[in-house]
């Protein structure tokens, strides 16, 4: 039996703290880069980040008051819309940046359909799985249809190319299948199959192989494949226990390319030190823990799977981003949720958090 509670206030505070940290660190890491690349406007990224944060706050306030059960009717249209946008990216309407065609644009505003696809996939799979929960133990009836969904998203996104986003969506859906009751045997079989596919894709693409070799020995090519990792490690190592202070980073002064994005954790390590890094990681761990509790105490399977998908999306991206910044895995372009600069990414994560908050309101979660 469900009951109306207050929203999970601690989760909301945690997310807002991460957003504030993100605004501060985006400004600190981009100050010099903005001045050098945008007509001496040191506040270029700060102004845009504040704008997107306000839009994200509005989106979060809306979704936290919007009954999550209504997403059932929106799930299939959202799925079709995401597929349409991914196809549109591959047409002449798609915008290419640095050799990758991942963006669509309206005037001066660009967005990545791949980011939108994550939440659309979560809505669609949560709705579908909640209707066919009894089939989950059967591979062909319960698992195979979702492998086709993964293949569709993966195929369209890998053509951009964007292996990190394609892989993230695959991992999110797999996490939802696991929570829905997938057999361990199926999980391990698909996991090893996925690793095999990943190895093949790395072998077939020279630039991916270079990233692997750069990860294994970044100092072998310090001006090429190992450059970003080396600069990131130098930043983290320079920070010590308490950091060099806000705005005093050396590595984000045109050493780390676009430091406000994928390698912003390195700037956190340099300017705020080990204490700053641990603080950010603890905030993420707390957020993920609250998301898991909301999923466990959700009043229905749809709410449970929806919360699982959103929490998995956040957790996967946090782990990948920090792993890349600390040279624990090959370099790939995954933003740090709520902190890295990126308008549509920030809005989507804040809106997704609002959905979690809405589920928490009708859950059996003990607030004490």
> Does some domain include residue 3?
no
pLDDT tens per residue across span 313-343: 999 999 999 999 998 888 887 899 999 987 7
> Does some domain include residue 4?
no
Strands 100-106 and 109-111 turn out to be antiparallel
Res 4: pLDDT: 60
> Does some domain include residue 366?
no
Res 368: pLDDT: 45
pLDDT tens per residue across span 203-244: 877 777 777 877 777 888 788 778 888 888 999 998 899 999
d(CA 131, CA 146): 13
Res 94: pLDDT: 84
Residue written as token pair 């995401």:
82
Give the count of domains, the chain.
1
Residue 2 — very low, low, confident or very high, per pLDDT cuts 50/70/90? Answer: very low
Other C-beta atoms within 10 Å of 40: how many? 9
> Does some domain include residue 293?
yes
> Does some domain include residue 170?
yes
> Does some domain include residue 82?
yes
- Greater confidence, 166 or 94? 166
d(CA 198, CA 203): 9
> Does some domain include residue 35?
yes
pLDDT tens per residue across span 145-167: 999 999 999 999 998 888 889 99
> Does some domain include residue 41?
yes
**Domain containing residue 255:** 9-361
- With a CB cutoff of 8 Å and minimum separation 6, the contacts of 23 are 46, 49, 50, 53
pLDDT tens per residue across span 257-312: 778 888 999 999 999 999 999 999 999 999 999 999 999 999 999 999 999 999 99
């Amino acid at each position: 039996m469900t009951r109306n509670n207050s929203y999970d206030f601690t989760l909301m505070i945690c997310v807002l703290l991460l957003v504030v940290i993100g605004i501060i660190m985006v400004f600190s890491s981009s100050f010099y880069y903005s001045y050098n690349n945008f007509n001496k406007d040191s506040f270029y990224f700060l102004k845009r980040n504040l704008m997107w944060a306000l839009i994200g706050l509005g989106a979060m306030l809306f979704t936290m008051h919007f009954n999550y059960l209504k997403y059932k009717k929106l799930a299939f249209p959202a799925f079709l819309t995401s597929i349409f946008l991914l196809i549109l990216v591959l047409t002449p309407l798609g915008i290419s940046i640095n050799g990758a065609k991942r963006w669509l644009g309206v005037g001066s505003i660009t967005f990545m359909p791949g980011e939108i696809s994550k939440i659309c996939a979560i809505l669609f799979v949560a709705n579908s799985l909640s209707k066919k929960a009894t089939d989950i133990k059967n591979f062909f009836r319960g698992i195979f249809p979702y492998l086709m969904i993964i293949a569709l998203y993966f195929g369209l996104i890998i053509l951009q190319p964007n292996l990190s986003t394609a892989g993230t969506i695959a991992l999110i859906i797999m996490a939802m299948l696991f929570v829905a009751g997938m057999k361990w045997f199926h999980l391990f079989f698909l996991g090893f199959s996925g690793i095999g596919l990943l190895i093949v894709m790395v072998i077939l693409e020279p630039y991916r192989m270079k990233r692997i070799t750069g990860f294994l020995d970044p100092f072998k090519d310090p001006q090429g494949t190992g450059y970003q990792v080396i600069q990131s490690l130098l930043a983290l190592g320079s920070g010590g226990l308490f950091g060099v202070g806000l705005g005093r980073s050396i590595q984000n002064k045109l050493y780390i390319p676009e430091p406000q994005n994928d390698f912003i954790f390195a700037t956190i390590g340099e300017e705020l030190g080990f204490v700053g890094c641990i603080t950010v990681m603890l905030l993420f761990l707390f957020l993920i823990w609250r998301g898991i509790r909301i999923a466990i105490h959700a009043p229905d399977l749809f709410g449970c799977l929806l919360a699982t998908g959103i929490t998995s999306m956040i957790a996967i991206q946090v782990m990948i981003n920090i792993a890349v910044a600390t040279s624990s895995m090959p370099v790939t372009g995954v933003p740090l949720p709520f902190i890295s600069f990126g308008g549509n990414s920030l809005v989507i994560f804040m809106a997704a958090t609002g959905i979690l908050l809405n589920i928490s309101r009708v859950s059996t979660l003990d607030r004490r």
